[in-house]
């Protein structure tokens, strides 16, 4: 009994240590955002502000159109997530169930495309966006992010579809459902965990991506959050507004945390529903 309690206590301590280690960077940014300007770079380091100062949050929105950046990131993230998930579900289901000629070779090719680093694709993406008239637009970012995330979505969803029993789909066909109706009414509810996980990762990528957004967007009204944070500057070129940067990081991290928590509930619901229906 004592050994069991001791093991549980050690496990709880280990989990708490890992959680503290993981949360430390965000907590430090949150504390820095609440420090007065004189204490941000004070020597020796002040680990807690003498007075809670919220002026950095106000300055972030005064210095740059940060609300616009947040809205742009949200639109791009939601658009990319919806488009990538929809295309990924259809493509993965086709690869998993339709027995396409050359399907295995196509999957290997898709996997090979996903191995290219983003820096290699910057110049081609810039050229394509220029010819298509999609520079400085959210649509251009959505298309670029969808193209980059689609191989990942296809592979994750196909692996999940392969594990689903075909008997359920065959029963739906006997009941008169078409292939599309079976996908929408039967397969997707059972695949909720995989779809939700894919959506989470795609949205986080779209929200945090910097290099492509910096390359394809130069107009301030179309910039996203990561580029907007990089554009923050002090009164002089020698001043780094650490307080404003920390406040911007906190403001832009909270929506992602809320989105992840919302999707986590859907994952649990999907797991439970899949277990019962299976």
Q: What is the number of domains present in the chain? A: 1
What range does the domain containing 96 cover?
Answer: 29-277
Q: pLDDT category, 1, cuts 50, 70, 90?
A: low
Task: Please indicate, yes or no, if residue 5 is contained in any of the structural domains.
Answer: no
Q: Which residue has the higher pLDDT, 90 or 113?
A: 90
CA dihedral sign of residues 222, 225, 230, 231: positive
Q: What is the CATH number of the domain that holds 70?
A: 1.10.3720.10
CA distance 62 to 248: 12
Asked if residue 77 has pLDDT above 60, the reply is yes
- Over residues 177-204, the mean pLDDT reads 83
Q: Is the pLDDT reported for residue 166 higher than 70?
A: yes
Q: Which one of 95-99, 108-112, 134-138, 185-189 scores highest in mean pLDDT?
A: 134-138
Which positions ≥6 away from 108 have C-beta within 8 Å?
Answer: none
Report whether 272 contacts 61 (CB < 8 A): no
Taking residues 13-39, report their average pLDDT: 85
- Given pLDDT bands bounded at 50, 70 and 90, which one contains residue 2? low
> Which of 128, 155, 111 minimizes the C-alpha distance to 212?
128
Could you tell me if residue 19 is inside a domain? no
Distance CA 37, CA 115 (A): 43
Question: Does residue 75 lie within any of the structural domains?
Answer: yes
Rounded to whole angstroms, the Cα distance separating 133 from 127 reads 10
Is 92 among the domain residues? yes
Dig out the tokens for 224 from the structure.
Answer: 């996203």
Q: Considering the domain boundaries, does residue 113 fall inside one?
A: yes
Q: Going by C-beta distance under 8 Å and a sequence separation of 6 or more, which residues neighbour residue 258? A: none
How crowded is residue 114: how many other Cβ atoms within 10 Å of its Cβ? Answer: 14
Per the listing, tokens 């969808």 go with 146
Neighbouring C-beta atoms of residue 249, cutoff 10 Å: 19
Q: Is residue 273 part of a domain?
A: yes
Within-domain flag for 77:
yes
Q: How many CA atoms lie within 13 A of 165 on its CB side?
A: 8
The whole-number pLDDT of residue 191 equals 82
Residue 173 Cα distances to 169, 183, 238, angstroms = 6, 11, 68
> What is the band of 196 on the pLDDT scale with cuts at 50, 70, 90?
confident
* Higher local confidence (pLDDT), 235 or 184: 184
On whether the CB atoms of residues 83 and 147 are closer than 8 A, the answer is no
Asked if residue 2 is part of any domain, the answer here is no
């Amino acid at each position: 009994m004592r050994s069991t309690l001791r093991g549980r206590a050690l496990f709880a301590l280990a989990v708490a240590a890992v959680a503290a280690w993981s949360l430390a960077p965000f907590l430090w940014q949150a504390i820095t955002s609440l420090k007065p300007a004189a204490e941000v770079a004070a020597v020796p380091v002040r680990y807690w502000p003498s007075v809670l100062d919220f002026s950095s949050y106000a300055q972030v929105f005064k210095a740059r159109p940060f609300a616009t950046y947040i809205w742009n990131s949200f639109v791009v993230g939601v658009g990319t997530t919806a488009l990538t998930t929809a295309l990924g579900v259809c493509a993965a289901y086709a690869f998993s169930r339709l027995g396409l000629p050359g399907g295995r070779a196509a999957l290997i090719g898709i996997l090979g495309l996903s191995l290219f680093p983003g820096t290699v694709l910057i110049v081609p993406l810039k050229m394509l966006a220029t010819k298509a008239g999609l520079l400085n637009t959210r649509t251009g970012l959505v298309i670029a992010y969808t193209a980059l995330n689609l191989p990942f979505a296809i592979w994750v969803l196909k692996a999940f579809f392969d594990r689903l029993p075909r008997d359920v789909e065959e029963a739906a066909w006997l009941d008169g459902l078409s292939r599309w109706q079976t996908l929408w009414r039967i397969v997707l509810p059972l695949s909720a965990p995989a779809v939700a996980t894919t959506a989470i990762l795609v949205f986080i990528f779209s929200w945090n991506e910097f290099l492509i957004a910096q390359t394809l967007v130069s107009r301030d009204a179309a910039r996203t959050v990561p580029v907007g944070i990089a554009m923050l500057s002090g009164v002089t070129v020698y001043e780094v507004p650490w307080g404003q940067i920390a406040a911007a990081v906190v403001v832009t991290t909270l929506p992602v945390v809320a989105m992840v928590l919302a999707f986590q509930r859907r994952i649990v619901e999907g797991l439970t529903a899949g277990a019962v229906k299976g």
